[in-house]
Amino acid sequence: MRKCWNCGQPTNDEQSRVCSDEICQRAEKKSSNGEFRNKGLVKQHEKNREYNQRPEVKAKQREYQRKYNQRPEKKARQREYQREYRQRPEYKAKAREYEREYRQRPEVKERKREYQREYDRRPEVKAKQREYMREYAQRPEYKAKQREYAQRPEVKAKKREYARERYQRPENKAKAREYQREYQQRPEVKARKRERYQRNKKLREEE
Ligand SMILES: [Zn+2]
């Protein structure tokens, strides 16, 4: 004698696990459709959740996750994902935006200026800079541009003005006088002067 699994009444039906009662028939149908099986799963899931909430279980899971993340293949996958992610246009746009915003921050600007100052003061950097300037000044296109610039009337005027102003400075006037005196003392200058004097004297005598 079999028993209906739903209500427990005896049943003669060899083909079914339930009796002929309509409720039990529906229950059997639901069960074979998976609803009761799901109920069991839900119960199991709740039990699992309760288990997983325990501190010692959580700690163990974290430890496992940490070890898992350290596996080479996992790391490689992570790197691959990161690489792919950074290639995306929306990520690039966001990164650019952030970069721009970051550079605008006063403390970042100040730090950069400070670093630049420190960098420019280095002897090897100064030497490289001078070398570059020298090389740059030798370029034909630069020379041509310089020549063209120097030919401008306003530039010429300014240059003349500057030379005059410089000559007017007392220390430069004194220097010029000193140079003149030194120049007149040179033997070849003296010789030329004497020669000129003799020539003029001769011309006067001949008149
Ligand atoms: Zn039944």
Cα 16 to averaged position of ligand 1 atoms, centre (Å): 10
pLDDT in tens, 56-101: 999 999 999 999 888 899 899 999 999 999 999 999 999 999 999 9
pLDDT at 38 over 80: no
Q: Is the pLDDT of residue 40 over 90?
A: no
What's the gap in Å between 90 CA and the centre of ligand 1? 62
Of the chain, the percentage scoring pLDDT greater than 70 comes to 99
The domains of the chain are located at 1-53
Distance between Cα 40 and ligand 1 center (Å): 20
Cα 200 to averaged position of ligand 1 atoms, centre (Å): 154
And the tokens for 190? 């003296």
3-state helix, strand, coil in the chain (%, to 5): 85, 0, 15
Burial (Cβ within 10 Å: 0-12, 13-18, ≥19) of residue 205: exposed
CA of 170 to the centre of ligand 1 (A): 127
Reply yes or no on whether the pLDDT at 39 is more than 80: no
Whole-number Å distance, alpha carbon 36 to ligand 1 midpoint, is: 16
Distance 42 CA to ligand 1 centre (A): 25
Do residues 58 and 52 touch, judged by C-beta distance below 8 A? yes
Ligand 1 geometric centre to CA of 37 (Å): 19
**Weakest-pLDDT range from 19-33, 36-50, 85-99, 133-147:** 36-50
- The set of residues, in sequence order, having a beta carbon less than 8 Å from that of 155 and lying 6+ positions away, is 149
Distance 44 CA to ligand 1 centre (A): 26
pLDDT tens digits, one per residue of 115-149 = 999 999 999 999 999 999 999 999 999 999 999 99
